[in-house]
Structure 1
Amino acid sequence: MSHAPAAFGKPLVQIVSNPASGGHSLRRLEQLRDAYVRNGYDAIFSESSPVTPFELATGVARVCIAGGDGTVRHVLENPEMRTSGVAVDIYPAGTINLIAREWGVPSDPDSFVQQAADRPARCLFPVGLNDTCFLACASIGPDARAVAGLSVALKRRIGRLAYVVAMLNVMANWQRPSVQLVVDGRRIDCEAVFVAKGRFYAGPWSFAPEARLESPELHIVALRRARRRDMAIFWLAMMIGKVDRLKNVEFAKGRELSIASDISQPIQADGDIAACTPAFLAVRDDPLFL
């Protein structure tokens, strides 16, 4: 869904979505457009996906990213977004939007637009990951292998439940390749690793409750063993906020992280497979202000 801009007398907002994502709703996008119009804007729609890269329209005053974390990442990777000076709003849509959750963004379109117009800019530090970046979280291990095996068509039909199906396939074909981490010069040997840039992971849960999007620091949680029962215990501990009590876990903080593995492994970043091992992660020195 894409429309070229016309000559508008009001400030123009470009509403960006990924029509192939889970939770995509044309009706909700139209409600969001109507909310902007009621607040003095004109609006156009455009798309952003791995197949259709985001392009900033001419004359835009604001960009509203209406999608999940993957869509947010794809849009903000566009070099124009660092130099254009346009305001950026992040509306919670798609499968999961951890950034909007951490910032307490309302899902009601009118409340969202009114808050976006009144709030100050927020600071967000991206994390470089090989030749790409991520914003909220990354991981290597069973959950990343589930994302790698995810059916896009199934995700479009049933949303985040598609991850459950993919994880069942991972459970049936369990692997435990070793991973070697170096965090600001400190080595950690493990079988699974979770990296937090923001507070939340996979929804309302957190394995690093002190992590913040506006802080230039990575919070790393490494599982020394990643057997089925180890992962089940870890996920349960994350849901009840007790990860810090696990004996199988090693914690670290830093701005840089090198990752190697016995075999090439997929790296999940903001809900998508963004790279494979070996990898180098580093918090970027120049934050985004959204």
Structure 2
Amino acid sequence: MNTVQLVFNPAAGRHSAPRIDALRLGFEGAGARVILSECGPGIPVAISDEASHICAVGGDGTARHVALALAGSGRVLPLSVYPAGTVNLLYREMNLPRDPALYTSGVLARTGPASHYGVNLNDTLFLACASVGPDAETVARLSPWLKRRVGRLAYAVSFLHVLILWPRRRITLVSNGRRIECAAFYVAKGRYFAGPWSFAPEARLTNPLLHVIALQRPGRLAYARFCWAMVRGRPVECVPGVAAFTCTALTAEASAPLPVQADGDIIAHLPARIALRPEPFAFH
């Protein structure tokens, strides 16, 4: 019998107790035993010794915390993600049903897990994407109180502050012997960024490759051109002052400890070493 550890974050943007109950009933109806575990601020994820499958319920940040705990446990277990956060990039790419009954039966019926290569970043990791620049500054200045009340609109309020202040720092990227000076950079492990958009449409969670975009021209206009190309689905590498490359590892340094946003949270500050994890996660 499968034992599913259902890990959920009560502080997630779209947390719902009835939804957790529906997922529990769905897994039990599919023949599994369920262990309920909370996580969130001040509540670290602990992988149960009895678990044979981990299901993270929340946003990309919750999934990242669960994956980090799973990596630290030294165990290789199937991992699934059900969306209940402000942004759900991992779930968007996996294209699974939202109905709890269909989701739970489908997850347990899968026989061949997808190998998702996470990304090490200094002493932590991320799963979908990372950035340093205006986006990371926006997340760093985000009000948790406002996010709980208005969801994604809180990011817009924070971004307005960044537009006014607009901190500019020179960043140095080094990868495969190549050195790039830039004002901001983005790393895609998966296809999506900040919702349905993509600056690296060829990126996939299951491919062992990082897609990097570097904005070499500082300023609001250069950033606006990059964003406009991305939301229209145009190749961002065609924007003047944008450099694009793929790699499996890179380092980033700056004259100040700039925040690094990954999977929707600030998880580190520069300098940083970013590299694919050698052992993939088994996503269902």
Same-fold status (TM-score > 0.5): yes
How far has the Cα of 1:219 moved from its partner? 0.6
Which aligned pairs between 1:223-262 and structure 2 lie closer than 5 A? 223-242=215-234, 243-262=236-255
Provide the secondary structure at the position in 2 that maps to 1:37.
helix
Q: Bigger CA drift: 32-41 or 216-225? A: 32-41
Give the alignment's TM-score, normalised by structure 2.
Answer: 0.94
CA deviation map 1:111-147 (0-9, x unaligned): 1112102222110111111111111100000110010
Listed as ranges, the matches of 1:84-233 within 5 Å are 84-119=75-110, 120-233=112-225
Distance 1:86 1:127, change over 3 A: closer
Question: How big is the shift at 1:44?
Answer: 3.0
Q: Distance in 1 between matches of 2:68 and 2:2?
A: 24
Partner of 1:4: none
1:227 offset after TM fit, Å?
1.3
TM-score w.r.t. length of structure 1: 0.92
Question: Where do 5+ consecutive residues of structure 2 fail to align?
Answer: none
Q: Which residue of 2 aligns with 1:282?
A: 275
Q: Secondary structure at the match of 2:47?
A: coil
Cα deviations by residue, 1:149-192 (Å, 9 ceiling, x for unpaired): 11112111222221111111111211111111112210111101
- Specify the SS of the correspondent of 1:252: strand
Q: How does 1:13-92 map to 2 (within 5 A)?
A: 13-79=4-70, 83-92=74-83
Aligned residue identity for 1:247: P
CA RMSD of aligned residues (A): 1.6
- Specify the code of the residue in structure 1 equivalent to 2:67: L
Task: State the secondary structure of the residue aligned to 2:65.
Answer: helix
Structure 1 segments of 4 or more deviating over 6 A?
none
CA distance in structure 2 between the aligned counterparts of 1:81 and 1:132, rounded to whole angstroms: 10
Q: Which amino acid aligns with 2:244?
A: F
Deviates more, 1:38-47 or 1:160-169: 38-47
- Asked whether the equivalents of residues 22 and 158 of structure 1 are also in contact (C-alpha less than 8 Å), the reply is no
Aligned residues: 281
Q: What amino acid does structure 1 have at the position aligned with 2:280?
A: P
The answer (yes or no) to whether the contact 2:76–2:281 under 8 Å persists in 1 is no
CA change 1:103–1:79 in 2 (3 A) is closer
1:12 is matched with which residue?
Answer: 3
The C-alpha deviation readout for 1:224-243, integer Å capped at 9, x for no partner, is 12312222221121111111
